[in-house]
Chain A
């Protein structure tokens, strides 16, 4: 079937979307200034229309990808006829044009949701206009710079196929999760700017956009976690994080986004930190744009680069505009943003949240400078100076440990003013137990100072968090007379935000424990073995039995058979392999992992001389499974906190009694 005509429809839809966005922005501004309801309704109609155009473009692209229409350049570049259906579908975000299209689509859907929803009516139209400016930018790029529907003439008979490194379920989730995260932050940003522009005193915009913020944060977390998992399982270097510029690009907004999530709670309750919050969400949003710029411009060498110079230039311009625009607005409206309450005590939840923010933003700041240093040093000295992983680790490790410690202390601190004797009483037991555990670890051989510090702090925080939950349940039992189980369930369900947060904290602690073990005590051995030769790494004895060939669906594999013994006992049979795909000149490594809660045995078939001689990279990564387990806790905790229903309301607000009477 010749469906090539759809390509021009797709391109037409994108250009139409571009024009509609321009209309929506211009008319949106006029409608706001002249207070014209018909125009405002027309902008709403335009939002529906824009979403329609992007949806049509996405659908057409998917039709092409799934049907394997190689006359379309993008399809030929990223798929082949032997590619499984699932990956054809996901090829939408495998390359530049498709992923930008996906971004534009998600953005237009989010904008539509805002257009149709009658929240904060005074500033919503302005927020919508800001979102439409974003739509305008992305549709401009898609219409005139990186066009998705380029036709090849003559049409190739077969496509290049998807890079086998990307043919992995985690890798399918990773990009789309990151985009959903990035785009999600545009909504709270738009509302923050709208509040500034309109000099709107209320902060319902924070309540309204809270869901969006948590939602975006959830996906950004998921994106980072799946990225790590993919790097570990697919790339075969035995690690999961290299402080690569593109990794940092999605980590920085996660850090500032986490800070924002916490500081808005202070604003909700105490009407404080207004300026800081607007600054934070602006920085977060700008970092998402910047992250996209880093990934796509090829301006920093990275294992990821999508290298496209002109696209990079446009992104840089847009990012700079967003940064200067938001900062100008913030500074200009500074006097208008009166603070509500004061800090009532140095030891209070408010101040601990502020400390939390300082640490997170500090980490984001250092990561930013480390990442962009090559660019700036080249600008000023002519030489590109890079900083490596050791720099990031040296700076960020102490910050993260301090942050985790704070995570453990903060729940015990009350709003306004904490009772210090209460704090000390509640820290005593977890402190002592953590100390005992740490001494035990020292005795069994854990001597590295960072490991000791990390295990002590993490154990302490885990215990204080569990203790806090335990005490909460007991108090509820006392007050309501419910039995323990019922009290536990009700406590969680009625305070989703708080207890979801505790689950997230526990998840982070587990992740930190996993990172500590696997990065400080990992063991690596590279060795060449002949058949029946064996090697011992830690307590594992590996016996290499030989190589054989295996035919897979779209690849030929060379497989190494290895018998693994733990001590004297037979443990398992592992088969690391190298897969040769028909469209790729170089094979990919399929790593073999025998994992347990204690450690991972990780084997890569690095190469071979003949069918009896093979080269292996062997790693033992202690505690690495806890990173993924912690990740599940984190995701679950966020979903729990996010789920609609009772208990998701914010906490008490210190309102003036007279303001209520005035309204009545």
Chain B
């Protein structure tokens, strides 16, 4: 009985190890996919950064000068990322549905930033 189980186990493990040598290799196109993912990540990050800078400034943790410098820098980066991202999307218009691509996270963050910035602009106008 034990021998039978041993042989089964050996066979299964052997199969797992040897099979890849005989099967056809998978065809990703890793380069483009990962670039898209990377840009998406960068976009998220930049927006989150902006949001955090706003927040820290309003909490009083950052001095006004630092705040303005940081904000300008990240606004610039945001525009670069968005431009690059849209370019990438434009190339693959035929293959990917634009709707799929805008994830919930993005939408939320964008909304949040816009709202917060709107409020600030309103305050500035009033004040």
Contacts and interface: CB of A to CB of B under 8 A. Distances in A.
B110 interface: no
Contacts of A8: 2, 6
Contacts of B54: 479
Contact of B116 (A46, A422, A479): A479
5 contacts: A9-B9, A12-B9, A56-B9, A480-B115, A664-B87
Interface stretch (A47-55, A170-178, A188-196, A239-247): A47-55
B13 interface: yes
Contacts of B9: 9, 12-13, 16, 52-53, 56
Contact of B5 (A9, A44, A655, A663): A9
Contacts of A649: 44-45, 48
Interface residues of A, number: 53
B2 A23 contact: no
A649 to B, nearest CB: 6
Tell me which of B12, B17, B48, B112 has the highest count of chain A C-beta atoms within 10 A of its own C-beta. B17
Nearest to A12: B6
A41 B20 contact: yes
Contacts of B5: 5-6, 9
Tell me which of A472, A476, A479 has the highest count of chain B C-beta atoms within 10 A of its own C-beta. A479
Interface string B1-27: 110011001101100111111010100
A661 B52 contact: no
A49 B49 contact: no
Contacts of B74: 652
Nearest to B76: A657
A475 B42 contact: no
Interface stretch (A352-360, A412-420, A448-456): A412-420
A479 B84 contact: no
Nearest to B13: A49
Question: For chain A, what secondary structure do more than half of its interface residues adopt (helix, strand, loop), or is it mixed?
Answer: helix
B13 A419 contact: no
Interface of B: 1-2, 5-6, 9-10, 12-13, 16-21, 23, 25, 30, 35, 38-39, 42, 44-46, 48-49, 52-56, 58-63, 66, 70, 73-74, 76-77, 80-81, 83-85, 87-88, 105, 108, 112, 115-116, 119
A46 B16 contact: yes
A657 B20 contact: no
B89 to A, nearest CB: 11
A530 interface: no
Contacts of B83: 664
Given A9-B2, A418-B61, A475-B59, A42 B49 contact: no
Contacts of A419: 60-63
B103 to A, nearest CB: 11
Contacts of B58: 475, 478-479
Contacts, number: 137
B17 A45 contact: yes
A23 B17 contact: yes
B126 to A, nearest CB: 14
Contacts of B45: 649-650, 652-653
B83 to A, nearest CB: 7
A660 interface: yes
A422 B119 CA distance: 24
A479 B55 contact: yes
A48 B16 contact: yes
B6 A45 contact: no
Contacts of B88: 664
A414 B16 contact: no
Given A16-B10, A471-B59, A478-B58, A663 B35 contact: yes
B115 A660 contact: no
A652 B53 contact: yes
A480 B116 CA distance: 7
B13 to A, nearest CB: 4
A560 B41 CA distance: 65
Contact of B55 (A13, A422, A476, A664): A476
A161 to B, nearest CB: 29
A6 B59 contact: no
B88 to A, nearest CB: 7
A639 B43 CA distance: 27
B20 A663 contact: no
A6 B3 CA distance: 10
A646 interface: yes
Contacts of A41: 20, 23, 25
Contact of B49 (A53, A417, A651): A651
Given A652-B52, A660-B81, 4 more contacts: A8-B6, A37-B25, A426-B60, A652-B49
A44 B23 CA distance: 14
Closest 7 CB pairs of A and B: A652-B49, A664-B84, A41-B20, A45-B16, A49-B13, A5-B2, A414-B61
Nearest to A45: B16
Contacts of A37: 25
B25 A38 contact: yes
B20 A38 contact: yes
B65 to A, nearest CB: 10
Contacts of A13: 9
Given A655-B42, A664-B39, A9 B59 contact: no
Nearest to B46: A652
B80 A660 contact: yes
A657 B77 contact: yes
A513 interface: no
B119 A653 contact: no
A5 B13 contact: no
Interface in A449-484: 471-472, 475-476, 478-481
A412 B63 CA distance: 13
B13 A20 contact: yes
Nearest to B62: A414
B61 to A, nearest CB: 4
A445 interface: no
A8 B9 CA distance: 12
A8 B7 CA distance: 12
Contacts of A425: 60
Nearest to A481: B119
A119 to B, nearest CB: 11
Contacts of A56: 9
A121 interface: yes
B111 to A, nearest CB: 11
Contacts of A663: 35, 38-39, 84
B66 to A, nearest CB: 6
A413 B66 CA distance: 14
A37 B25 CA distance: 8
B13 A412 contact: no
A38 B17 CA distance: 10
A203 to B, nearest CB: 14
